[in-house]
């Protein structure tokens, strides 16, 4: 112990201390001023990031309140060395959960955990807090709603990570009371926050590759996410309760606790908030999990065959598909009652902090808003006519084509066409109401009568868009009234000529020419805005030149 501090100091150890959640725990322990922290991890030495150099960790390493120990949990002598003289151990080390390699996970999560327990007993460690996972009760098939700690381990696990984590958890619980060692397990659900090297980076990589537009499943599955500082705080709550002794410690010892932000949210809504916060589009296209599963099996098989040649770990695996499409929410009532856990950072604040910490992954800034985008006023109209939202544009085009064939080409009168359209809509709603809520693992969303009501917010948005378009028109008129913007005058004049030309045609012909012209004309103008404006400027100069020449001739005469 002399190598790590003087007598009287309280030391704890954090395994996997350079991992995502462990870094936050180390800093929280140091800020508490209650502990000196021994950081145990695989690296031969500790390499601090710039913000750590000047932060609490850098200061603690310099002052001796923190020390780094290179330790592989699979090598028992190294674990014994890391725990020598410590009072409490936070066992957070684990391999990347996305790598479905049973041998790797077993060697660390099971064999490594055995070494941790043996070292704690040999070194007379008083308390051992193990970072487990909610996946230890997840079979990959059945969703979990407000899961309690009384749930049994499944017969078959979703992946090797979950299976070996459960085995490690059993070892920790059975070790409680051996040689005075008190143990408990923390099961944090879906950790997120600054410093995460898996969730946000993989989301951004998918967005940049154009793969983030898809929703696996119906998109309604609720999830419990946990901000990383809340995870660190839960570990400290558990350790403090065990250290307090008495009835409280006896209640907590040998138990497992679910830890969440206590704010369930739809999984894909959470992902969308992160993507939108970083400037990317939210997922919109739903694909049934049953459709994705065969593809995921092929991807996983390909990885097994080619991983030895350097193929990176795929994001699309069967276990991942099941995780993304199932409901997973857990109750924190036991943790609140036994270890006095309450989230210290809300989901909203946690999301903001997370997004702010990944500004280097933001989408590249879009070039300046074009004039035509501004003139169109309404964002949805602009995105449709300018092909910004291709799905929305194609849907609108198909709708307009259907309207043409139904109302114009069919020869129906207006009243007959509307009556037939409403009868078809009534038939669709009636049949949709008869359908079951689930077909082939795909959830059918029922439409209540309120679905067709116009909310105050939507009404306000509609009126605002009309107001915005009107104000844009007024701005154009104001510019024309000044009599100086010849380029704008020529554009307005040509557009009105085109409108009058279309108005002189039969309505059916105007429809056939007008709507394609809208989708092509606005798009072409935005694409070649500078060239078109340049041509109008040249025309304006020529008109001014002719005007000047005519004025000179008039003066001479």
pLDDT tens sequence across 96-143: 887 778 899 999 999 999 999 999 999 999 999 999 999 999 998 899
Residue ranges, comma separated, of all CATH 3.40.50.720 domains in the chain are 11-361
Burial of 1 (0-12, 13-18, 19+ CB in 10 A): exposed
Q: With cut-offs at 50, 70 and 90, classify the pLDDT of residue 1.
A: very low
Can you tell me the mean pLDDT for 403-429? 72
What's the pLDDT at 512? Answer: 67
Q: With cut-offs at 50, 70 and 90, classify the pLDDT of residue 241.
A: very high
Q: Please indicate whether residue 165 is annotated as part of the active site.
A: yes
What's the pLDDT at 176? Answer: 97
- Sheet strands (E) in 385-441: 438-439
Which DSSP category does 364 fall into? P
What's the pLDDT at 473? Answer: 73
Q: Cα(75)–Cα(231) distance, rounded to whole angstroms?
A: 28
Q: Cα(334)–Cα(50) distance, rounded to whole angstroms?
A: 39
Give the fold, CATH level 3, of 11-361.
Answer: Rossmann fold (3.40.50)
Q: Out of 55-69, 192-206, 232-246, 500-514, which region has the weakest mean confidence (pLDDT)?
A: 500-514
Give which of 108, 55, 115 is closest to 79, Cα–Cα. 115
Q: With cut-offs at 50, 70 and 90, classify the pLDDT of residue 422.
A: confident
The angle formed by the CA atoms of residues 255, 259 and 264, to the nearest 5 degrees, is 140
What's the pLDDT at 2? Answer: 36
Q: Name the packing angle between helices 289-306 and 318-325 (round to 10°).
A: 150
Concatenate the DSSP letters of all residues of 172-191 into one string.
Answer: HHHTTTGGG-EEEEEEE-SE
Task: Of 17-26, 291-300, 417-426, give the range with the top mean pLDDT.
Answer: 17-26
What's the pLDDT at 20? Answer: 95
Can you tell me the mean pLDDT for 164-193? 97
Can you tell me the mean pLDDT for 183-191? 97
Would you say 1 and 84 are in contact if contact means Cβ atoms under 8 Å apart? Answer: yes
Two structure tokens written together for 279? 């400037």
What backbone phi and psi angles, to 5 degrees, belong to 312? -75, 160
* Percentage of the chain modeled with pLDDT above 90: 49
Contacts of 530 (CB under 8 A, 6+ apart): none
Beta-bridge mates of residue 38 = 13, 67
Cα 547 from chain centre:
61
Cα Rg of the chain (Å, integer): 32
Concatenate the DSSP letters of all residues of 88-113 into one string.
Answer: EEEE-----TT---HHHHIIIIIIIH
Can you tell me the mean pLDDT for 416-436? 76
Q: Cα(259)–Cα(187) distance, rounded to whole angstroms?
A: 6
Would you say 252 and 357 are in contact if contact means Cβ atoms under 8 Å apart? Answer: no
Give which of 80, 79, 64, 69 is closest to 43, Cα–Cα. 69
Summary mean pLDDT of the chain: 84
Catalytic residue among 114, 126, 148, 165: 165
Is pLDDT of 458 > 70?
A: no
Can you tell me the mean pLDDT for 451-455? 62
What backbone phi and psi angles, to 5 degrees, belong to 41? -155, 175
What's the pLDDT at 4? Answer: 44
Question: Whole-angstrom distance between the N-terminal and C-terminal Cα of the chain?
Answer: 109
Cα 321 from chain centre:
15
Is pLDDT of 226 > 50?
A: yes
What's the pLDDT at 445? Answer: 65
Task: Of 196-210, 344-358, 441-455, give the range with the top mean pLDDT.
Answer: 344-358
pTM listed for this prediction: 0.67
Can you tell me the mean pLDDT for 369-391? 66
Q: Cα(282)–Cα(285) distance, rounded to whole angstroms?
A: 10
Is pLDDT of 228 > 80?
A: yes
* Percentage of the chain modeled with pLDDT above 70: 78
pLDDT in tens, 142-173: 999 999 999 999 999 988 999 999 999 999 99
Would you say 24 and 229 are in contact if contact means Cβ atoms under 8 Å apart? Answer: yes
Q: Cα(135)–Cα(367) distance, rounded to whole angstroms?
A: 44
């Amino acid at each position: 112990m002399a190598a790590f501090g003087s007598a009287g100091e309280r030391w704890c150890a954090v395994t996997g201390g350079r991992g995502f959640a462990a870094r936050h725990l180390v800093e929280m322990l140091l800020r508490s001023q209650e502990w000196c922290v021994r950081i145990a991890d695989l690296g031969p030495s500790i390499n601090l990031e710039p913000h750590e150099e000047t932060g609490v960790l850098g200061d603690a390493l310099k002052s001796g309140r923190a020390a780094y120990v290179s330790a592989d949990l699979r090598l028992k002598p190294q674990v014994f060395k890391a725990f020598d003289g410590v009072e409490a151990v936070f066992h957070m080390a684990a391999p990347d959960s996305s790598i479905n390699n049973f041998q790797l996970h077993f060697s660390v999560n099971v064999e490594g955990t055995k070494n941790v327990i043996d070292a704690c007993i040999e070194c007379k460690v008083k308390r051992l807090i193990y970072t487990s996972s909610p996946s230890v009760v997840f079979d990959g098939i059945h969703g979990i709603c407000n899961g309690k700690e009384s749930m049994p381990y499944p017969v078959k696990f979703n992946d090797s990570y979950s299976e070996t984590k459960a085995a490690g958890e059993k070892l920790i619980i059975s070790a409680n009371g051996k040689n005075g060692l008190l143990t408990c397990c923390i099961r944090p659900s879906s950790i997120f926050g600054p410093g995460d090297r898996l969730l946000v980076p993989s989301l951004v990589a998918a967005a940049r590759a154009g793969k983030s537009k898809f929703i696996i499943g119906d998109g309604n599955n609720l999830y419990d996410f946990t901000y990383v500082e809340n995870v660190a705080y839960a570990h400290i709550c558990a350790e403090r309760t065990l250290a307090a002794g008495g009835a409280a410690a006896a209640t907590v010892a040998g138990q497992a606790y679910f830890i969440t932000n206590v704010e369930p949210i739809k999984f894909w809504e959470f992902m969308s908030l992160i993507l939108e916060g970083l400037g990317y589009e939210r997922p919109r296209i739903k694909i049934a999990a049953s459709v994705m599963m065969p593809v995921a099996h092929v991807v996983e098989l390909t990885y097994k065959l080619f991983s030895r040649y350097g193929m990176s770990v795929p994001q699309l695996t069967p276990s991942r598909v099941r995780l993304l499409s199932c409901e997973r929410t857990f109750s924190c009532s036991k943790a609140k009652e036994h270890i006095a856990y309450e989230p210290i950072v809300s989901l909203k604040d946690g999301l903001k902090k997370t997004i702010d910490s990944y500004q280097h992954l933001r989408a590249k800034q879009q070039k300046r808003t074009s004039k035509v985008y501004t003139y169109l006023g309404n964002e949805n109209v602009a995105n449709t006519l300018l092909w910004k939202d291709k799905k929305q544009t194609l849907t609108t085009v198909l709708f307009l084509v259907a309207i043409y064939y139904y109302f114009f080409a069919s020869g129906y009168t207006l009243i007959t066409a509307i009556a037939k359209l409403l009868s078809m809509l009534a038939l669709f709603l009636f049949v949709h109401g008869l359908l079951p809520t689930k077909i082939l693992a795909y959830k059918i969303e029922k439409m209540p009568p309120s679905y067709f009501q116009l909310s105050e917010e939507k009404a306000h948005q509609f009126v605002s868009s009309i107001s915005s378009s009107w104000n844009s028109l007024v701005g154009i008129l104001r510019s024309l009234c000044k009599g100086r913007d010849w380029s704008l005058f020529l554009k307005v004049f040509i557009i009105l000529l085109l409108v009058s030309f279309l108005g002189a045609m039969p309505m059916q012909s105007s429809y056939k020419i007008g709507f394609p012209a809208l989708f092509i004309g606005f798009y072409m103008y935005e694409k070649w805005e500078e060239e078109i404006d340049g041509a109008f400027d040249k025309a304006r100069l020529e008109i001014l030149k002719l005007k000047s020449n005519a004025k000179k001739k008039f003066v001479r005469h």
